[in-house]
Each structure stands twice: as structure tokens, then as C-alpha cells.
């Protein structure tokens, strides 16, 4: 290399704590190269939509749309939650591999790193939502006004942050590549309880239990533009679970940093 | 070494404790730019902790760390310091080129990715997944990453662990070439030979303190010396320990073992001033001598004259 004398005063600090598009591009390519990620987060939710969204009563009216639209919004949430959670779990895996320590030897600031992971989770969540919505468009059964359609998609994207935090948290509790083996079935269970796959009779004992689980609130919130109904307990559920997961992730992360 | 440039490293009364464990107990150190310095000491001497402090990976309990006139974090943000890790630190699902591109994109100024790949001899591996590379290839990749920002200071923790003799020689030849161009290199090792062969200066650490600091031959002279063994009734431990040039005294029944630099004087004393008999003088192996300097021998710190600060 063409080193002569190194002048410490001539060196610059990168903007944005080192955050840049090259890193985002490589990270995105890396996620999409993982066959398991692609199948479970992009193909699987779309397939579920085709299965559940074509039931005999698909055209029954729900709020401002129909049942197929309701199922589509639900599956988009499920897919986005899975992608965001697997993205979050990667943070813990990267710690275990020593990659985070390697990154600390570069100008990338810890804040920029978390911001980058959050952005990635959002981008991948958006991809998952888009795939399910495109599946809906192609199939042609979901019906709702365009602004409702968009509203659901955007709210779903916001709600995925809950699961990005959950992913980080679980990634620390269950180290290595096993995190997704816990998150996959776990999120499926929460989705059943959260009214995402099959509607639960409102007011039943089951419903009361379900209303306390983490997928319940975000599901109601993300479908609110369609149903035209946003119960206070759903918002409370979403906010409380987000706070719990973020606190859990932050707690495990601070523990981990102390050991570096 | 009398250059007016800012020192590569300046540590002031640096202390690091983990609860009751005092890993670094107040060290002062100044390393000029362009020096190749070895941190020598047994495991647990505080070498790795000191390197972590230099990299800003942990915060000092007390004292100051300055790297090229900056805090460690500022120095890293400017690409002035880098380090090569021994294991891990790589993503298996990225290709070699992606890994280098990724790292390069984080710095404000870097060498061109292709030039770095070529310099590290891994151009042919560029499109291979990191997970499919051999240990040696991964090590070359880590070096490529460390040299991307053209750092003024390179920190290496036990860099040649697991390398064969040939690999070790090639590695140090490359480091030498780099240092000639003005790069400062600080490496930790527990091999006296490696430190002696490749460093301009050796900083000897023991139990969190710097016990000696000098060139290889100075350290070796310090570590050299011989052992006098004699039979002596009622040996006066304290009086023997106070003798000039005695490093340590060991009493086993009526046998005394004295490690000393000037064994002639010790022998003369024993034969003329005491009733010592069966005198035997043996040379001490360099490794054994090194262990005496750095080891956690039976004697307490205060009891024995140590070469502390002897050359500092």
C-alpha cells in the first residue's frame, strides 16, 4: 500500500456515524440470499393468504372492505412480523460471532448500527407487506378503497417494530441460529391468539386471554383503517408489548456490552 | 524516538478493575510513532485488558488513554487505529469482497477495495463466501480489513497463535515492511523469543503492572542470571534477600537457592560471611528466567527485590 508518513491530523470522521447505503445494500442482499428467510417470510405468508383468503365467505363485508381484504392485511402483518423478528435476531447472532466487536473497531457508532438494523427490519417488513398485497392484487378477491389499503399497509409497517424488538430480545435469550426456531412457532402461536389467522369469538374466555397476547394489539391497529374500529385496549396492548420488548432487548444488550 | 510528533500511545496511571479483580494497576507508557513494541507477559498479566482499553472496547476505571492525541473512540472514527482479532469477527454468509466493501464503506478515507484484496493476496477469493474460506484465508481477510483505513497504529493480540514457523516468519516480514512506512505496531505475546526477535522494544507486564521496559537485549540481561545453591544451617532469609543483585531467595530446609545477576558476589559472601558449604552455581535458562520475572512465584511483591522499573 502506498503509505508514506501518516498524518493523524489529516484524517476525517465519516458522516452519520458511518451509516451508508453500501452497508444497507450488502445487508439487504445478505438477508435475501438466505433461503430460509425468503421462504418463511415472503413465500409462506403469501401462501397462507391464498389458503385463508379464498374461504367460502371471502366476499362477506368487513368494515370498509371484505373478508379477503381482512385476511390479506392479517397475513401481511404476519409476514412482516416474521421478517422483522428474524432481522432482530440477527443482532444477537452477530454479537455471538464477534462481528459487533469487529464493527466497534470501525467508525460505525452503536446508535448507527441499531438504526441500520431498524431500517433493515423496516425495509424487509415493507417487502413482506408488498408481497402479500401483490398476491392479493393478483388474486383479485380483496376489496377496499385505495386509501384504506395504503393505510393498513403503513400501519402494519409501523407495527413490525414491535417484532424487531422481540427478535433482538429472543436473539439474546436463545443464542445462535436457534432463535428463529423459537420465533417461528412462537409468532405462529401468537398469530392464532392474536386473531390473525382465525377470528376468536369476542367476549369468550379464549378471547380475554388472547387480548393480552402480543400479536392481538398490533393486529387490531394495523387493520383499523379497514374495520373502522380501534378499541383502546388494542392500542394499550400494542404500546405495552412494544415497551416490554424494547426494554427486554435493551436490558440484554447492556448486559452483553458490559462483557465485551 | 525524539520525534516531535504526537506519540502513538500515551497511558497515564491507567487502571482497570473488574469488581475485585485488578487487571491493570496503574500503568504509565509512552510509545512513539513507528515503533514496534511487544507487550510481553503471561496470561492474566493485563495485556489484553490494556489493548481493549486502547481500542475503547472498555472504559478505564481510572487514568488516561490517549491514542495519537485522541481518545480511543475518536482515533478509531478517524481510522487511525485498528486491530486484528484472533477468531470470529466475520460474517460467514458474506463474500470476501462484500466483507471488505462493507468495512471500507464505514470509513471516511480508505484504500481502494481491489488494492487491499491484492495486497492481502485474496483477490482470487473475492467472490467466495467467508464461511467457505480456510482459517488462514480468514486471517488474511482480517488483515485486509485492519489495513483498509491505513491505520497509524496497529494492535495485535497474540497474532501468531496457531501459525506454523513459516507462516510466522512471513507474517512478521509483512509487519516489518509496514512499520518501515511509519506504522506503529503493538503486539501482545507470551513468547519471549517472539518479542525479542520482532520488537524494537519490549514492555514486560506482570499482574497488571509494567515490570520492565527496554530493548530485547536489555530485557534478556535482566532475565538472565544464575542460581547459587548451597547448604546452610539456619539461613537468614531477609539478610540473603538484601544482598546486591539477588532476585529471589528460596529456602528448602537447610538448602538455599539464590537467583542473582552477580552470583560471584553472592558466592563470595556465602563462603566468607556464613557457614555455607556444597556450593553450586548453575546458569538459568532464558525461559525459566522469564518466568521468574513475570511469574506469580511464592514470594510476595514487597518481600523480594524485583526488577521493577529497573530500565523504565
pLDDT digits (tens, 9 = 90+) for B257-288: 888 877 888 888 888 888 888 898 887 655 66
- SS3 of residue B246 by DSSP: strand
pLDDT (tens digit, 9 = 90+) per residue, A24-64? 999 989 888 888 778 877 888 888 888 887 778 888 888 88
* Mean pLDDT over each residue of chain B, to the nearest integer: 84
A137: DSSP letter: H
Q: Which residues from chain B sit within 8 angstroms of residue A93, using beta carbons?
A: none
CA–CA distance, B112 with B38 (Å, rounded to integer): 30
Which residue in A4, A29, A34 is closest to B181 by CB distance? Answer: A4
Residue B222 has pLDDT above 50, yes or no: yes
| CA distances from residue A212 to A202, A217, A224, B193 in whole angstroms, order as listed | 13, 8, 18, 65
pTM confidence score? 0.77
- SS3 of residue B248 by DSSP: strand
Which residue in B68, B83, B105 is closest to A105 by CB distance? Answer: B83
Higher-confidence residue of A244 and A35: namely A244
- Kindly determine whether residue A30 and residue B182, on different chains, have CB atoms separated by under 8 Å: no
Q: How much is the average pLDDT of A111-125?
A: 85
**pLDDT (0 to 100) of residue B289:** 61
Sign of CA dihedral A45, A48, A54, A58: negative
pLDDT (tens digit, 9 = 90+) per residue, B150-186? 999 999 988 887 777 887 888 888 888 877 888 999 9
Lowest mean pLDDT among A4-8, A220-224, B187-191: A4-8
- Kindly determine whether residue B107 and residue A18, on different chains, have CB atoms separated by under 8 Å: yes
Residue with grid cell 394495523, as numbered in its chain: A222
- The DSSP result for B105-154, as a single string, is HTSSS---HHHHHHHTT-GGGTTSBGGGS-HHHHHHHHHHHHHTT--SEE
- Residue of B238, B194, B208, B227 lying closest to B27 (CA atoms): B208
**pLDDT (0 to 100) of residue A62:** 84
The answer to whether B157 and B83 have CB atoms below 8 angstroms apart is: yes
In the structure grid, which three cell numbers stand for residue B22, read together?
A: 485488578
Cβ contacts below 8 Å, chain A against chain B, sum to 118
The answer to whether B267 and B275 have CB atoms below 8 angstroms apart is: no
Question: Residue A1 — pLDDT band, cuts 50, 70, 90?
Answer: very low
In the structure grid, which three cell numbers stand for residue A210, read together?
A: 388472547
- Residue of B176, B218, B221 lying closest to B201 (CA atoms): B218
Question: Residue B132 — pLDDT band, cuts 50, 70, 90?
Answer: very high
The answer to whether A18 and A110 have CB atoms below 8 angstroms apart is: no
Question: Residue A5 — pLDDT band, cuts 50, 70, 90?
Answer: low
**pLDDT (0 to 100) of residue B308:** 39
Which residue in B58, B80, B146 is closest to A260 by CB distance? Answer: B58
Which residue in B83, B91, B150 is closest to A6 by CB distance? Answer: B150
**Would you call B76 an interface residue with chain A, using a CB distance cutoff of 8 Å?**
yes
Q: Which residues from chain B sit within 8 angstroms of residue A3, using beta carbons?
A: 150, 178, 181-183
Q: Which residues from chain B sit within 8 angstroms of residue A98, using beta carbons?
A: 85, 87-90
CA–CA distance, B198 with B36 (Å, rounded to integer): 8
The answer to whether B212 and B271 have CB atoms below 8 angstroms apart is: no
CA–CA distance, B91 with A34 (Å, rounded to integer): 13
**pLDDT (0 to 100) of residue A120:** 87
With a CB cutoff of 8 Å and minimum separation 6, the contacts of A168 are A88, A89, A91, A92, A117, A245, A249, A252, A253
Amino acid at each position: 500500500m502506498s503509505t508514506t508518513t501518516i498524518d493523524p491530523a489529516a484524517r476525517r470522521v465519516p458522516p452519520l456515524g458511518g451509516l451508508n447505503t453500501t452497508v444497507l445494500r450488502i445487508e439487504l442482499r445478505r438477508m435475501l440470499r438466505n433461503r430460509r428467510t425468503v421462504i418463511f417470510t415472503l413465500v409462506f405468508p403469501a401462501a397462507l393468504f391464498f389458503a385463508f383468503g379464498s374461504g367460502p365467505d371471502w366476499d362477506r363485508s368487513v368494515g370498509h372492505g371484505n373478508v379477503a381484504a381482512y385476511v390479506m392485511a392479517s397475513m401481511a402483518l404476519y409476514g412482516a412480523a416474521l421478517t422483522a423478528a428474524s432481522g432482530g435476531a440477527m443482532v444477537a447472532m452477530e454479537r455471538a460471532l464477534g462481528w459487533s466487536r469487529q464493527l466497534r473497531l470501525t467508525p460505525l457508532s452503536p446508535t448507527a448500527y441499531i438504526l441500520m438494523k431498524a431500517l433493515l427490519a423496516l425495509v424487509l417488513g415493507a417487502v413482506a407487506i408488498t408481497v402479500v398485497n401483490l398476491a392479493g392484487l393478483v388474486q383479485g378477491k380483496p376489496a377496499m378503497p385505495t386509501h384504506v389499503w395504503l393505510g393498513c399497509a403503513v400501519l402494519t409497517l409501523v407495527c413490525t417494530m414491535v417484532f424487531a424488538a422481540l427478535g433482538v430480545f429472543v436473539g439474546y435469550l436463545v443464542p445462535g441460529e436457534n432463535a428463529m426456531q423459537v420465533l417461528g412457532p412462537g409468532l405462529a402461536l401468537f398469530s392464532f391468539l392474536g386473531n390473525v389467522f382465525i377470528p376468536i369469538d369476542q367476549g369468550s374466555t379464549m378471547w380475554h386471554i388472547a387480548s393480552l397476547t402480543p400479536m392481538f394489539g398490533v393486529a387490531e391497529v394495523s387493520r383499523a383503517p379497514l374495520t373502522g374500529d380501534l378499541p383502546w385496549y388494542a392500542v394499550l396492548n400494542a404500546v405495552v408489548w412494544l415497551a416490554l420488548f424494547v426494554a427486554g432487548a435493551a436490558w440484554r444488550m447492556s448486559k452483553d456490552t458490559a462483557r465485551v | 524516538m525524539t520525534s516531535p510528533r504526537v506519540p502513538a500511545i500515551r497511558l497515564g496511571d491507567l487502571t482497570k478493575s473488574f469488581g475485585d479483580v485488578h487487571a491493570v494497576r496503574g500503568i504509565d507508557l509512552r510509545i512513539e510513532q513507528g515503533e514496534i513494541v511487544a507487550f510481553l507477559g503471561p496470561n492474566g498479566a493485563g495485556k489484553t485488558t490494556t489493548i481493549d482499553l486502547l481500542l475503547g472496547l472498555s472504559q478505564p476505571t481510572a487514568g488516561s488513554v490517549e491514542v495519537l492525541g485522541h481518545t480511543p473512540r475518536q482515533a478509531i472514527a478517524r481510522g487511525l487505529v485498528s486491530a486484528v482479532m484472533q477468531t470470529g469477527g466475520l460474517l460467514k454468509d458474506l463474500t470476501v469482497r462484500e466483507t471488505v466493501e462493507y468495512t471500507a464503506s464505514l470509513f471516511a478515507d480508505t484504500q481502494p477495495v481491489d488494492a487491499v484484496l491484492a495486497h492481502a493476496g485474496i483477490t482470487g477469493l473475492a467472490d467466495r463466501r467467508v464461511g467457505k474460506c480456510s482459517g488462514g484465508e480468514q486471517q488474511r481477510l482480517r488483515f485486509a480489513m485492519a489495513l483498509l483505513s491505513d491505520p497509524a497504529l496497529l494492535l495485535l493480540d497474540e497474532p501468531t497463535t496457531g501459525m506454523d514457523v513459516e507462516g510466522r516468519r512471513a507474517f512478521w516480514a509483512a509487519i516489518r515492511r509496514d512499520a518501515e512506512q511509519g506504522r506503529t505496531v503493538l503486539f501482545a505475546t507470551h513468547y519471549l523469543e517472539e518479542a525479542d526477535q520482532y520488537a524494537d522494544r519490549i514492555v514486560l507486564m506482570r499482574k497488571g503492572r509494567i515490570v520492565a521496559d527496554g530493548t530485547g537485549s536489555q530485557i534478556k540481561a535482566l532475565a538472565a542470571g544464575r542460581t547459587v545453591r548451597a547448604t546452610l544451617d539456619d539461613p537468614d532469609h531477609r539478610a540473603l534477600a538484601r544482598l546486591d543483585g539477588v532476585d529471589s531467595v528460596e529456602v528448602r530446609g537447610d538448602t538455599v537457592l539464590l537467583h542473582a545477576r552477580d552470583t560471584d558476589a553472592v558466592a563470595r559472601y556465602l563462603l566468607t560471611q556464613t557457614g555455607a558449604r556444597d556450593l553450586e552455581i548453575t546458569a538459568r535458562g532464558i525461559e525459566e528466567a522469564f518466568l521468574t520475572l513475570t511469574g506469580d512465584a511464592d514470594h510476595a511483591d514487597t518481600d523480594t527485590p524485583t526488577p521493577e522499573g529497573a530500565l523504565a
